[in-house]
Structure 1
Amino acid sequence: MNGTDRLFDLGYAERILPALLHASVYTILITLVGFAIALVLGLVFAVLRRSPIKPVSYTVTFIVEFIRSTPLLIQVYVIFYVLPVYGITMSALTAGTIGIALHYACYTSEVYRAGLNCVARGQWEAACALSLSPWRTYRSIVLPQAIRPVIPALGNYLVAMFKDTPVLSAITVVELMQQAKNIGSETFRYLEPITLAGVFFLIISVSFAALVRRVERAVRLP
């Protein structure tokens, strides 16, 4: 291999750019759908962990701690390869999205729990004194106060989820990094596709972080 073979080939990079752009859009969609599920499910987990019904709170606590303590890779393997043994079959995309959403739901539940714990006890007592239902208490009083301060932490998990999408290639999901590896294996040139994939990850991660900052400013109290 001569010196020129090791240089970054702009022509080759231009040819593979459309395929990587398509894969990056695919990866963004997986991230956004998975994160939307994680936000909702994480809140459900956080509320259930505060349930006065001990079997419910203990069961949810066990599930959250178990998932947080095991690797995402193992979890997506179980969903995609093990569940079909028991008659639960799904596509790689669905399994990967569910797997990463469930994994991060357990992390966001801890963020929500911290926010809920920061709500002053007097707010809960006032809601009880007004005979508000649990639904109205959470919707109108508790959640508006609990969620605002934890938006930055939730945003961190959005970026982290996006950077964890390459794990899904283990179950044949062709996301951005897997597409870069596929292109490299066809020509045995990995410098250009891997470099472009890294640039895409950087640009998209920074964009997500900027979006979270805008949301944080929009909901900030005057």
Structure 2
Amino acid sequence: MIWDNEYALEILPIMAKASLVTLEITVLAFAVAAVLGLIWALIGILEVPVLSFVVRLGIEFIRSTPLLIQLFAVYYFLPGYGIILPAFLTGVLVLGIHYSAYCAEVYRSGFLQVPKGQWEAAISLNLGLRHTLTRIILPQAVPPVILPLGNYFVALFKETPVLLAITIIELVATARIIGNDTFRYTEPITLAGAFFLLLSLVAANLVRYLNHRMALRTRIARR
């Protein structure tokens, strides 16, 4: 038989547990990406001398090199210089930093949508940088970019199988291990695909809901 329902039900709890590992990595890595991406975007927008150039150079380097190479560099090469990180932490940090380069461009597009007059008005009112950002700029810049940020969240989620290269046993790695042990690959690989599909659909719908709520709140605030 190509598909065995009893076997699929037997391995389902194992696959479900592995999906939680994948989801945990995704959430933590995206939190890193969202925060760092905002920092990179702010440094670029504020045109901080030297630092802005270094950040732009770093973003281009990250975007231009494969994620797998970055994982190998951190997990296998850095220990030679005395820097040893656990596999889980390496996966979260590398995924987060990698996607922060993309999130930075998304935030930047949001900042560019804020009229320059808003910045000028804040300066004329003698508002500090912190108050200008938190009370005027960010509330206008962030809501329009919720949807593209959410797209990167889903993309990051689907990138997690690459972490098998640094021995992290996530959803796809678990499916391969089960297949290697039992010589039955149809059920575990299919279940892995089903979990990815299900979780991606849930994440996409959640992002659309958040985008709708933020847009609604913005329209109410403008009235």
Report the TM-score, using the length of structure 2 for normalisation: 0.95
CA distance in 2, matches of 1:113, 1:52: 12
User: Could you say what secondary structure the match of 1:54 adopts?
Assistant: coil
Query: Which of the numbers 99, 102, 106 marks the counterpart of 1:104?
Result: 99
| 1:135 matched residue in structure 2 | 130
State the partner residue of 1:209: 204
CA distance in 2, matches of 1:88, 1:48: 28
SS in 1 for 2:37: helix
CA distance in 1, matches of 2:176, 2:86: 21
Which of residues 192, 197, 207 is equivalent to 2:192?
197
C-alpha distance in 2, partners of 1:160/1:204? 12
Instruction: Give, in whole Å, the separation in 1 of the partners of 2:46 and 2:71.
Output: 29
TM-score norm. by structure 1 comes to: 0.96
Q: Helix, strand or coil for the counterpart of 2:88?
A: helix
Structure 2 alignment gaps of length 5 or more: none
Equivalent pairs counted in the alignment come to 217
Residue 91 of structure 1 and its aligned partner are, at CA, apart by 0.8
User: Is 2:154 the partner of 1:159?
Assistant: yes
- CA shift digits 1:138-183 (9 cap, x unpaired): 1110011001111000000000000000011100000100000000
Q: Which residue does 1:21 correspond to in 2?
A: 16
AA aligned to 2:68 is: L
Residue correspondence of structure 1 range 1-222 to structure 2 within 5 A? 4=1, 7-220=2-215, 221-222=218-219
The Cα offsets for residues 97-137 of structure 1, whole Å up to 9 and x where unpaired, read as 10100001110000000110111011010001001111111
Identical-residue share of aligned pairs (%): 48
Moved >4 Å (runs of 4+): none
Task: Point out where structure 1 has 5 or more consecutive residues left out of the alignment.
Answer: none
Partners of 1:19 and 1:38 lie apart in 2 by 29
Residue 126 of structure 2: SS of its match in structure 1?
Answer: coil
What residue identity is the alignment partner of 2:23? I
SS at match of 2:47: coil
Aligned-pair Cα RMSD in Å: 0.8
